[in-house]
Chain A
């Protein structure tokens, strides 16, 4: 009896070990299979298009590449994109800070409605957003004649491009700031206010240092979207070369003229900027993580 029991125990231990070994090796197999699938998907969908842009841009050599970039229309398009992006980001920083302060430091009726109102542009197609501005400032608008008399052009002009860019980007900074400020709470600001600090001082000395990285993060996302916006800007721009052409629109025109090398050369600038934005984004995210870890430890 005793012998058979020990034998059984040996057998089962052996069996278990074997089972464990096969399950570990199959687990490793599954792991690398999944990683391979994910990597292959990202390679085909994301890396390949980037490589192609570089490849096509340099297809006719460096001289053609540089010529496409320094051509006057390309330069003007670059300047207009820079102008629209800077203005949109600046305006959205002011709005983002004000609305995030309003949404996190106070309780008032209609707060939830206001929050979802700010998120709404994400659900609206950029082309439809552009259409909104055509309806407001275009030929069928009731204020069109007045604008005409004042010699103010909005649609098919630079102001329209800036407005459309602002529209599609305005939720970004608020969205990043609200969770950060919510987590921060109100006690520090309340303490400062009780000690007699004014609103501006509280913001500069108490709030801003806490939300600095969240703000930068929002600015990065806003910049990315602003410089690349196509649909909304396309509707309001009228595609006037050298006047209302942003970089993405310039790329479209070159591409439709079968001037592929030039189109990809200009596109390569935007690819470079996009990669720069990704790197910055990850750096800031890393900073944010480290900060939250530190403050977490502090709390303990």
Chain B
């Protein structure tokens, strides 16, 4: 093809750098992984990847990530709403603070949350008194995943909410719709797409999350082990095939989530276009 017709120089140069880098950092390790994993064969894969203890690990990662993503969707929408629609003292600080989970190393979050939510901790003492075991349990895992997922929904809803045209809401108000009705019927439908994107990102992140969870999870076999931890455990026992098998299931799971969300977005766009 060459760069004929292209005025701006640098096509081959940047293409070269990009491909060299991608191959070295990403494709080569991926190929090595696929090569190794494919040597395992179906039977062994099924055997290793769907052992009872492992399946329980997927379930923990999946269900806690789902619960955390739902909680984050609610609070994410709420935070986006108050940051876009209201003025109040400390708003800028609040807005900046929302990205803290991106900036704070997960291990730091992990040990801090664990210390907060153990039985003698600042938060744990109240929760345990209410009969909620907030550390070394599914509740604890979910708390850690809520922490890492906070920015996703807020940051995807915020810009869309900001760009909504006020005329539609004014029209709804003139037609006699109350605030809640306007929100439900006029504003919320516009926010479904970004809400879902944020939800999917938080969900996918939660399934793969390791650093913030290992401390608060307690890691009891058959109870509070998460899938990424099981990969670590298998690696420590030098069972590389089992580690690869779990990794394959996790990769498929997170791709499925992202693909289904992408598919849904495209379906919505097409429907609106018609």
A interface list, Cβ under 8 A from B? 23, 27, 30-31, 34-35, 37-39, 41-42, 44-50, 52-53, 56, 91, 94-95, 98-99, 101-102, 105-106, 108, 114, 117-118, 120-129, 131-136, 138, 140-141, 163, 166-167, 170, 186, 189-190, 193-194, 198-199, 202-203, 221, 224-225, 227-231, 234-235, 247-249, 251-252, 255, 260, 263-264, 267, 270-271, 274-275, 277-279, 281-282
Contacts and interface: CB of A to CB of B under 8 A. Distances in A.
25 contacts: A42-B79, A46-B100, A94-B17, A95-B18, A95-B21, A117-B26, A125-B210, A127-B210, A131-B244, A135-B33, A135-B36, A138-B240, A167-B26, A189-B8, A193-B8, A194-B7, A224-B103, A228-B106, A230-B105, A234-B211, A248-B105, A251-B108, A267-B108, A274-B103, A281-B103
B250 A125 contact: yes
B25 A98 contact: no
Given A132-B29, A170-B26, A38 B111 contact: no
Nearest to A81: B105
B122 A135 contact: no
Given A123-B254, A132-B29, A270-B105, A35 B22 contact: no
A31 B83 CA distance: 11
B52 interface: no
A172 B105 CA distance: 16
Contacts of B33: 131-132, 135-136
B105 A102 contact: no
Which bracket fits the contact residues of B?
Answer: 35 or more
Contacts of A225: 102
Given A123-B204, A225-B102, A279 B96 contact: yes
B112 A52 contact: yes
B102 A231 contact: no
Contacts, number: 258
Nearest to A170: B25
Interface stretch (B43-51, B191-199, B227-235): B227-235
Interface of B: 1, 3, 6-11, 13-15, 17-18, 21-22, 25-26, 28-30, 32-33, 35-37, 75, 78-79, 81-82, 86, 88, 90, 92, 94-109, 111-113, 115-116, 122-123, 146-147, 150, 178-179, 201, 204, 207-211, 215, 227-228, 231-232, 235, 240, 243-244, 247, 250-251, 254-255, 258
A127 B232 contact: yes
B73 to A, nearest CB: 13
Contacts of B98: 42
Nearest to A229: B105
Contacts of A121: 26
Contacts of B26: 117, 120-121, 167, 170
B208 A274 contact: no
Nearest to B17: A98
A228 B107 contact: yes
Contacts of A37: 75, 78
B111 A264 contact: yes
Given A102-B11, A106-B6, A271-B108, A255 B102 contact: no
Contacts of A163: 25
Contact of B99 (A189, A199, A264, A278): A278
Given A134-B240, A234-B211, 19 more contacts: A34-B81, A34-B86, A45-B150, A105-B11, A106-B6, A124-B254, A135-B35, A167-B25, A167-B26, A199-B13, A225-B102, A228-B108, A229-B105, A230-B106, A235-B231, A270-B105, A274-B108, A277-B103, A281-B99
Contacts of A124: 208, 251, 254
